[in-house]
Amino acid sequence: MQLKTALLSTAVLAALAGLSFHAAHTDTQATHAGTAPRPDAVRSAAGLTASAMPAASQTARARHTLSNLSAGTGARPGSELAAASESPAQADSSPAANRVRDLLNGAAAEEVHRVAADAFAARDVMIDRDGTEHVRMERSYQGLPVVGGDFVVHSQNGELKSISQGDNMRTFGRPDIQPRISAAQAGKQAASAFDGTVNSVDNAGLVVYAQGTEPTLAYQMELRGDRRNDQAPGRFTSYVDAHTGSVLHSEDRVQTAAAAGTGKSIIYGDVGIVTDSVSGGFRLIDPNRGNGATYDANNESDKNYGSGYPNATLFTDADNLWGNNAASDRASAATDAHYGVAVTWDYYKNVHGRNGIFNDGNGVRSVVHVGTNYVNAFWYNDNANIKYMAYGDGDGTTYNPLVAIDVAGHEMTHGITSATAKLGYYSIKDTGGINEGISDIFGTLVEFYANNASDPGDYLIGEKVYKSNPSGTAALRVMFKQDADGKSKVCYPSTGFTAFQTYKGGTYDPHNTSGVLNRVFYLASEGAVVPAGFGYTKAQLVCNNDTGIVGVGRDKIGAIMYRALTRYFVSSTTYPQARTWTLQAASDLYGANSPEYATLARAWSAAKVN
C-alpha cells in the first residue's frame, strides 16, 4: 500500500525555492495596445521609477534563494537564472519590460522595423544573475495582434545587447486594416480547407498575419471538427486573408508524439506516486506538483476534446493502491502517466528551476484512455485557456498505452514550448521540426533523469510503448539516425524545409524534420559514437564525414537547449537561426572559446546546418 506522501523513488529530494518575479509597479504605465503613442510619449509613460533604477538593483530585488542551477555543468558564473515572470501580465508590468519599451523607441526601433502604429507587450521575462535581461515581446499594429511579430530583447544595465527575431517582420510595410470580405465568408473558406466534417467555425477577430508572408490583414478563425480517418482532435486555427479570402495558414492545435509510431503501472512496475487524501479515500491529484490531476476519458472519442474531455472522471481509490500492472485495471495506465508527469515536473524544477509548464506553480490535467485503439499521445492548448495532455491506449497488439516517461516528457515539453517560444508546427518552414526535436530532446533528458531500472536512459523515443521489443532497438524515433524509419530527414537541405511540404503527413512533416535537431543533440552530447545494439558506422551518424566529434555530455547540451528555447527562440525560428541562437546560449553559459561551443558548432555542421 502506497502512502499519500510517498515521493517518486527516483525524484530528487531537495527542492528549489520558487522563481517568483516581483515586479515593481509605477504610477504610470506604458501603453501596451491600440495605436502606439508618439515615441516621446512612450518614453515618458514608461516611468522614471523603473528606468532610473540600475538594472542590477532591479535584479537584486527580484532574486530568491536558489541553488546553482548550473551545478555540474561547469557553466559560467552569472549565467544562472535569478528570476523569471510567472504570467504575461506580471511580465508586462515589470521594470524590465518598461526598459525594453524605452529601447524600442530608440536603439532597437529600426532593428525590429517599428512603425508609428506598432505597440508592444511583454509576455515573458527572464533575468540572469549577472543582470542580463531577456524580455519576450508580442507586437500589435493599430490594436490588432501581429501573428509572427514576436521577438526577444536581450539587454544589460539598460543597454541593448541583441534581439532574437524571425524573418517575418523585416519590413516597414503594414496592411490596410479594413477587411474586404465578411467574417462569414472567411469562415466558409476556413471550413472548405478542412479535411473532415466541420462542427463549428468561430471568428476570433482580425489579426495581422506575418509568418512566411508580407504582413497581411486576416481573420483568425477557430475551427472544430472530426478529421477524416484520424482519431486526433480536429482543432485548427485558420488565418484567412481579409482582402482576398485565401487561406494563408491553418495551424493544427494538436501536437502529437507521433502516429503509430507511468502504483502498479504497466510499463514501470511498482512506483511511488504522490496522491491527494480526501474523506473516504484518495484522488490521483499531486499536491506537491501544482495539483496536477489524472483523469479517465473512458475511451471517449475526440468530440469533446475542445473542452478538455469534460466528461472524463478523476481517478479515485480507497486504499491508495493503484492498478494491477496490467491493462485490465484502468488505473494501471493512469499510474504510468501520473508518474511520468511527476518525473518531468521534477526534472524541469530541479535542473532548470522551472516551476511547472507555465512557471506559475500550477499543474495540468492528464487524460488517459482517449479514443479506441488510439496509438498516439498529444498536448492540447487552444486560445480559450484549455490545456491538457492526452494518452491513447495503443492498439492492444503492437503498442502499449502511450504513457512512457519519454512520451510524458515529450508532451509536457510541448506545453513549455507553447509557453515560451511558441514555435510553430505545421506549414511553417523548419519550425515544426525544431518544435518536435525540442520535445524529443527533453523527453530523452527526462528519461535519463528518472534513472528508472525498468527504462534506462537512451536516445530512443517511445521504445517502451512496444508490447514486444526484445532487442530494445524498436522506437518511434531513433535520435542519432532518425532516417532509419525511411522517411525522416537528418541532413538539412541547402534550401531548408519548404513550408508547403510541412503539412501533417507531408514530406517535411515535423516528426520527420525533427531528425536534424535530434542528430545535433546526440552528436554534441555523445559524439560520433554508435550506441550498443546498432550496426551503423560512424560515417552514417554524420552528414559531412566528421567522425571525430567527441561529445561534451547531455546535461551541458540540455542546458544550452533550454536556454536557447526560453531566451532566444521565437515562433518562426529556422534551423540556421537555431544554430546561431544555440551557439549564443553556449557562449552565454560556457564562453565562445569553450569546448562546449566548438563541439556544438561541429554537431550543427555534421547535420549540414551552417
pLDDT, residue 36, reads 33
Nearest residue to 341 (alpha-carbon basis) of 361, 357, 320: 357
pLDDT, residue 500, reads 82
138 shares its domain with 188: no
459 shares its domain with 601: yes
Instruction: Look at residue 500 and give its three-state secondary structure.
Output: helix
Confirm whether 411 is a catalytic residue.
yes
- Domain containing 48 equals 39-63+74-165
Burial class (CB within 10 angstroms; exposed 0-12, middle 13-18, buried 19+) of 325: middle
pLDDT, residue 29, reads 30
pLDDT, residue 15, reads 23
Domain boundary among 252, 285, 306: 252
Confirm whether 511 is a catalytic residue.
yes
105 shares its domain with 228: no
114 in a domain, yes or no? yes
582 in a domain, yes or no? yes
pLDDT, residue 303, reads 62
455 shares its domain with 602: yes
The kind and range of the H/E element at 469 are: none
326 in a domain, yes or no? no
594 shares its domain with 445: yes
* Model confidence at 4: pLDDT above 80: no
| String of DSSP letters for 273-342 | ---EEETTEEESEEGGGTTEEEEE-TT--GGGGGGT-TT-EE-EESSS----SSTTSHHHHHHHHHHHHH
| Residues near 585 by beta carbon (within 8 Å), at least 6 away in sequence | 560, 561, 563, 564, 567, 568
Out of 411, 436, 463, 526, pick the active-site residue: 411
Q: Which CATH number covers residue 448?
A: 1.10.390.10
Q: What is the mean pLDDT of the chain?
A: 84
57 in a domain, yes or no? yes
Contact of 110 with 169, CB cutoff 8 Å: no
100 shares its domain with 196: no
Please state, for a pLDDT cut of 70, what percent of the chain lies above it: 85
Contact of 279 with 247, CB cutoff 8 Å: no
93 shares its domain with 241: no
Out of 154, 352, 410, 511, pick the active-site residue: 511
Q: How many domains does the chain have?
A: 3
The kind and range of the H/E element at 3 are: none
* Model confidence at 461: pLDDT above 90: yes
What is the Cα–Cα distance from 533 to 330, expressed in whole angstroms? Answer: 34
pLDDT digits (tens, 9 = 90+) for 205-220: 999 999 878 899 999 9
pLDDT digits (tens, 9 = 90+) for 561-606: 999 999 999 999 999 999 999 999 999 999 999 999 999 999 999 9
Domain boundary among 216, 232, 252: 252
pLDDT, residue 576, reads 97
Beta bridge pairs of residue 388: 365, 380
Q: Radius of gyration over alpha carbons of the chain, in Å?
A: 24
pLDDT, residue 196, reads 82
**Cell for 588?**
552565454
90 shares its domain with 227: no
Contact of 365 with 389, CB cutoff 8 Å: yes
433 in a domain, yes or no? no
54 in a domain, yes or no? yes
282 in a domain, yes or no? no
Question: Cell 500550477 maps to which residue?
Answer: 362
pLDDT, residue 478, reads 96
362 in a domain, yes or no? no
Residue 277 CB-half CA count within 13 A: 6
What is the Cα–Cα distance from 393 to 369, expressed in whole angstroms? Answer: 5
Alpha carbon distances (Å) from 303 to 108, 297, 362: 47, 12, 26
| Section 55-65 average pLDDT | 33
210 shares its domain with 117: no
Domain boundary among 193, 226, 252: 252
User: Poorest-confidence range of 221-235, 367-381, 409-423?
Assistant: 221-235
